[in-house]
């Protein structure tokens, strides 16, 4: 639908919902050749990105944590063995929570500069080339950053 209505155009370092030439809607002297009526598409894409980046990952991580937390605690062993197992279980839960936090922080950190570049370009109508280059390097290094 977006391609058929000619709303997918160059924007930043790739293609996105934008008018062509960029900024033509803000300047009455420049005629827009492509990309009209983008508001609905921008709302849908923006909401889907928010859900994909900021709601689904924390929810799935919390579900994993709750699943581990609800694991059966009953053991048919001595009191000392039960204490040992319970201590190991608490350490596991703490380690899982730390790992979840680090993963989410690194995941969101890779999108931070892209978000700043997008906001800057949307507000000013100009391409912040140095920020776009840096944000693309960081974003495409996401696998390496998350691995750390």
For the entire predicted model, the pTM comes to: 0.59
For residue 148, give every residue at least 6 positions away whose Cβ sits within 8 Å of its Cβ, in sequence order, or none.
106
Q: What is the pLDDT of residues 8-54, one digit of tens each?
A: 776 666 677 777 676 677 777 877 777 666 767 777 877 888 888 88
- Mean pLDDT, the chain, integer: 79
Q: What is the pLDDT of residue 135?
A: 87
Q: What is the pLDDT of residues 77-86, one digit of tens each?
A: 677 777 888 8
């Amino acid at each position: 639908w977006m391609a058929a209505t000619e709303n997918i155009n160059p924007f930043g370092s790739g293609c996105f919902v934008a008018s062509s030439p960029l900024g033509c809607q803000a300047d009455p002297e420049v005629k827009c050749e492509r990309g009209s009526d983008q508001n609905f598409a921008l709302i849908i894409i923006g909401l889907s990105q928010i859900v994909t980046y900021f709601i689904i990952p924390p929810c799935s991580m919390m579900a994993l944590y709750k699943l581990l937390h609800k694991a059966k605690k009953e053991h048919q062993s001595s009191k000392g063995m039960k204490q040992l197992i319970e201590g190991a279980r608490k350490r596991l839960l703490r380690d899982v929570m730390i790992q979840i936090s680090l993963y989410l922080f690194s995941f969101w950190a890779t999108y931070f500069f892209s978000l700043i570049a997008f906001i800057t370009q949307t507000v000013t109508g100009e391409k912040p080339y140095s920020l776009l280059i840096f944000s693309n390097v960081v974003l495409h290094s996401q696998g390496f950053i998350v691995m750390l």
